[in-house]
Structure 1
Amino acid sequence: MELSAYLPQLLSIATLATIMAISPGADFVMITRNSLVYGRRAGVYSALGVGLAIWIHVAYSIAGVALLIAQSVVLFTVIKYIGAAYLIYLGYQSLRAKHHIALDLAHKAAPSKALSACSALRQGFITNALNPKTTLFFLSIFTQLVSADTPVAIQLVYGLIISLAHLLWFVLVAMFFSHFAFVHALQRYQRLIEKTLGVILMGLGVRVATLSQ
């Protein structure tokens, strides 16, 4: 197996994965919210959850389920509605939250109500795993750019590239939105920002529910 033979596909997938990662969507809003409200640790763990969830999409794509999803309106609709419901749930949580960010003497953001690493990772994982936008991305990659003759090892490399692109981008997002200077500047607007992000998450949920295959 010559890796160089697949270099054009590798470059194409790396480019598409980068565009996919940085395009605003549910993952971005969720990680922005967790980083701003709960701090850098929560944001990074949420990013890790997104990176891990990518492998769910890789697994079903390699197994051939991607083709089944592409051809099954019912299956895609079930995934779509579950994902939409979860986004609306996260948005509702933001709207009803009563905690706020406090700045300690070490000049670090210290949320008054912490989000555990496990909860942050779970939110990132579920948000991406049930994201129809990500599902559609993998459907296009593995039903058009990847042929039946592409070795599984190469497909795993594709998955690794996509996973790393998402992980690196969202870690950067988490670091930016949890930076002390940024949090300090927006502290007085934190409640408004959190509720706004909650509305956006709920809006994304509604949009996902109306998404066509």
Structure 2
Amino acid sequence: MFVEVFLVGILAGISPGPDFFVVMKNSLNFGVRVGVATAIGIACALIVHIAYTVMGFAFLLQQSTGLFYAIQLAGALYLLWLGFGALTAASGGETFTPGTLAEKKRTLQGFRDGFLCNVLNPKAALFFLSVFSQFLTPDTSSAVRWIYGIEIIVAVALWFVTLSFLVSSARFRKFYERYRVWFDRLLGAVLLYFALRIIFTFVFGRLL
């Protein structure tokens, strides 16, 4: 059972979504350090989701439609901001000297991007509800629930850290630098797509 939960976490991370493209964007633009910081931010956001799911708050969130919609819209607006920033980014990349204040600030911003992108994603709550409904029973102890949750956090974090190193490699970055503007525009467009899809679902879901 523990292996199955770990594999589910890996598959959840590999599946293209806002988290995937935020890690890609930050790793390509600012290097592996910021990419890893973004991955750690995502992992910390998962801790929040795991905590309220294990403690039963996911049911409360599901029942409180107003709270759910507020989180949904906040997440969409944040993705809009990230996507617009990628589309309007300058064609020249920023460079930072290791250890400088500017680099530390960018690293913190990478962590913030990962954390907010995931914690404001209402689908994360539904994901953990679906996973736990498959692997947990009323008799499952709280300790085992936390173990399952930690497994998913570790699996997702490992995948995104690996992704950061892959897209920050010299060969990949050399290719990226030749087509940087188009990469940034593509990643920005994808983030805008996710944001607009959330808003579209929110608006028309409530009207229908």
Could you say if the C-alpha distance between residues 95 and 87 of structure 1 is closer, same or farther in structure 2, counting changes exceeding 3 Å?
Answer: same
| In structure 2, distance between residues paired with 1:187 and 1:97 | 14
TM-score, normalised on structure 1?
A: 0.84
Q: What's the CA shift for 1:196?
A: 1.6
User: Does the alignment pair 1:123 with 2:131?
Assistant: no
Aligned match of 2:36 in 44, 62, 65?
44
Residue identity (%): 36
Aligned-residue offset at 1:73: 2.7
d(CA) in 1 for partners of 2:94, 2:150? 38
Aligned equivalent of 2:47, options 37, 55, 59: 55
Q: Which moved more, 1:30-39 or 1:150-159?
A: 150-159
Distance 2:60 2:132 in 1: 12
Aligned CA RMSD, in angstroms, stands at 2.1
Which consecutive residues of structure 2, in runs of 5 or more, have no partner in the other structure?
Answer: 96-101
1:14 and 1:151 map into 2 onto residues whose CA distance is 18
Q: Do structure 1's residue 183 and structure 2's residue 178 form an aligned pair?
A: no
* Residues matched between the structures, number: 196
Q: 1:198 aligns with which of 180, 188, 193?
A: 188
Q: Give CA-to-partner distance per residue, 1:45-79, whole Å, 9 cap, x none.
A: 10111111110001111121111123333222222
**Partner-residue secondary structure (3-state), 1:101:** coil
Conserved? CA contact 1:132–1:208, under 8 Å: no
* Aligned match of 2:150: 160
| Offset at residue 144 of structure 1 (A) | 4.7
After superposition, give the CA deviation of every residue in 1:140-198 in whole Å (9 maximum; x if it has no partner).
Answer: 12345323332221111111101011110001111111111111122121012112211
Higher helix fraction (1 or 2): 2
